Structures are given as C-alpha cells and as structure tokens.
Amino acid sequence: MKLNIPDSIKEEHNELHKTLEAATHLPGKTGEAAKKVARLLHPHFVKEEQYALPPLALLLPLSEGNISSEMRGVIDESNKLKQELPKMLAEHKQIIAALEELIKAATEELYPEVIDFAERLQQHAKTEEEVFYPTSILIGEYLKLKLQEEVNEEEYYP
C-alpha cells in the first residue's frame, strides 16, 4: 500500500525547503550558515518522507475504525523508523546546532525573516520528535495488534 504523506505536512516541508533555498543565496555568514543547514536537512527530509511520515496518512482511516490487511506494509515503515529513531534524533541535534549558527549570523547581519524561519524549523523538529515520530511508531504497533487479531480470528473461525 503506497501512502502519501498528509498534505499539511508535505506542504510545510515544501515551504521550509523553499525558504531555506532562498536563504542559501544570501551573502555573508547568513548564506553560508543556511547552506550548512541545507546540507544537513535535505538527507534528513528524504528519510522522513520515505518511512517516518507516510504512516501518518492512516490516522484518519484508523480513527474511523477502517483497518485492512493492505495496511500491513506500513508496519515495515514504522519498524524502520523505530530502528532509525536514535539516528534521526541525532540528526535533529546537528540540525538544531546549525540553526543556532544561522540565527546568530542572521542576527548579526540583520535578516529577521531568516531568524523567523530558523525558529520555525526548530519548532518543526520538536513537533516531529514529540508528535509525528511517536505517532508513526504507534500506528505500526496498533496495526500489528489489530492485524494479528484478524489472523488469529481467521485461524480460529475458518
């Protein structure tokens, strides 16, 4: 089952990429600091979009009680996130440190819009750590339980 990341999250990622891309073209320390953030952020976003965020597409169907065996593939994505979570969180620490450098440079060079962007990206990372990642893992765990019940019922009631 191919899942699309919820539009609200995909749009936020796109907007963050677009704003960061613009900041990389600024002169001076701010542009250099933005380039460092971009080097760290791009591969991280790729991983998120591969396995960390797609399970969130099932929130609405699952909350409505809609479960199917087609959802079984999401368990693999959730397991991958669970396995990679320490690395993802370590990447966040690197990104946050680079964002602090960006804030410092943008403050010195008077780019308030870049400061605002960097603070929003820090908040985005915090939301991922506190909400998105745990929810994606819980979705996988929930599906394991529910789909196992389905298998057990089929074996018990042929």
Domain limits, the chain: 7-153
Cβ contacts of residue 77 below 8 Å, gap of 6+? Answer: 50, 51, 52, 54, 55, 136, 140
Kindly give the confidence (pLDDT) of every residue in the chain, 158 residues in length, as a single tens digit, with 9 standing for 90 and above.
Answer: 678 899 999 999 999 999 999 999 999 999 999 999 999 999 999 999 999 999 999 999 999 999 999 999 899 999 999 999 999 999 999 999 999 999 999 999 999 999 999 999 999 999 999 999 999 999 999 999 999 866 554 544 44
Closest by CA to 23, choosing from 106, 93, 100, 138, is: 106
Contact by Cβ (8 Å): 56, 136: yes
